[in-house]
A = this chain, B = another copy of it.
């Protein structure tokens, strides 16, 4: 007997379909006690900078923000001249998913798209791409931007980051890390936040919280505070300085308190791993990238894709070409193990194997 669709259908479209985790919602409510000076002059925002410095074991300049596109674009705009070149993977969020925000905020800098396995760029590719320094006809090499975890759910090791940083230093480029899913990457790596960032050579990290349990909270973290001299002005003129900033800062504070960020990320990662293992065991299913964070990319037989959709499971068809569409599943801090199990059971049933098939 098959349960009605509504009962086990679940949403794997993105980690931003999730709501807010309880600890963060409570922090917002708690921040609502009495008046507080606006625009970051409040106590919570002040505490946040100290907290980030402690967690990252480094002097930092921290700027609370509310969207990842804003965090990335503002960070780049503080570091890259208008005629600068930013080297990134062709699939990078900054290159393809922000409607040109980096170009807008930098005043016209150019994102130079590079190739690389599983949405990661490597040091050799960047080294080969850097050119034109000092020649007025060409945009000037200015930054390397990497996404951690990447757009295919893979994770840069500190060694890989350090190799990129070495190339960056050689050419006087800044190294920007888009950490929309930094916690998911960190949960995967056996290292400290410091090792995953400035110790590996990262100059500026845009640390995401929204995809991992916050309502709307990101932070631009500069490990060389002098590089942030302009940031306050750029944030304001970008319309990203919140008058009641305490409510953004409160989210970040709660996120970083008591390892909430890592616990949320570990949960999401674990669900993704389980989902990936289950799918990979099915005939005709092929994982197209290692599952190292909270995203699963897999080529599925078309019948399987359509069958899951018909049963109410929500996910993105990433590329629909050929007999096996490439599909993306994303798990989150609140993904229920039962939902993963339900999807796997249904997939097995559709594939005519395993427990799901037996029960028919």
Contacts and interface: CB of A to CB of B under 8 A. Distances in A.
A83 B35 contact: no
Given A66-B66, A216-B244, A236-B98, A104 B111 contact: no
Nearest to A103: B108
B82 A139 contact: no
A137 B292 CA distance: 25
A85 to B, nearest CB: 8
B34 A237 contact: no
Given A17-B37, A104-B107, A242 B139 contact: no
A238 B37 CA distance: 26
A141 to B, nearest CB: 12
Interface string A23-39: 00100110111111111
Given A69-B236, A69-B239, A238-B101, A244 B16 contact: yes
Interface stretch (A145-153, A164-172, A226-234, A294-302): A226-234
Q: Chain B CB within 10 Å — which of A14, A19, A240 has the most?
A: A19
Interface in A74-117: 74, 81-83, 96-101, 103-105, 107-111, 113
A274 to B, nearest CB: 19
Contact of A99 (B20, B69, B233): B233
B101 A233 contact: no
Interface residues of A, number: 72
A241 B37 CA distance: 26
Nearest to A334: B35
B16 A33 contact: no
Interface in A12-57: 13-14, 16-20, 25, 28-29, 31-39
Interface in A329-354: none
Nearest to A11: B35
A197 interface: no
A36 B20 contact: no
Given A238-B104, A244-B210, A99 B138 contact: yes
Contacts of A240: 67, 70, 239
Contacts of A20: 32, 244, 247
A108 B100 contact: yes
A140 interface: yes
Contacts of A82: 100, 104, 107, 234, 237
A73 interface: yes
Interface in A253-299: none
A47 B37 CA distance: 33
B83 A99 contact: yes
Contact of A110 (B100, B140, B210): B100
23 contacts: A14-B38, A14-B243, A16-B244, A18-B35, A39-B137, A66-B66, A69-B241, A73-B239, A81-B230, A81-B233, A83-B99, A83-B236, A96-B138, A99-B138, A99-B139, A99-B233, A100-B108, A100-B110, A104-B108, A136-B232, A136-B235, A136-B241, A239-B240
Interface of A: 11, 13-14, 16-20, 25, 28-29, 31-39, 65-71, 73-74, 81-83, 96-101, 103-105, 107-111, 113, 136-140, 210-211, 215-216, 230, 232-244, 247-248
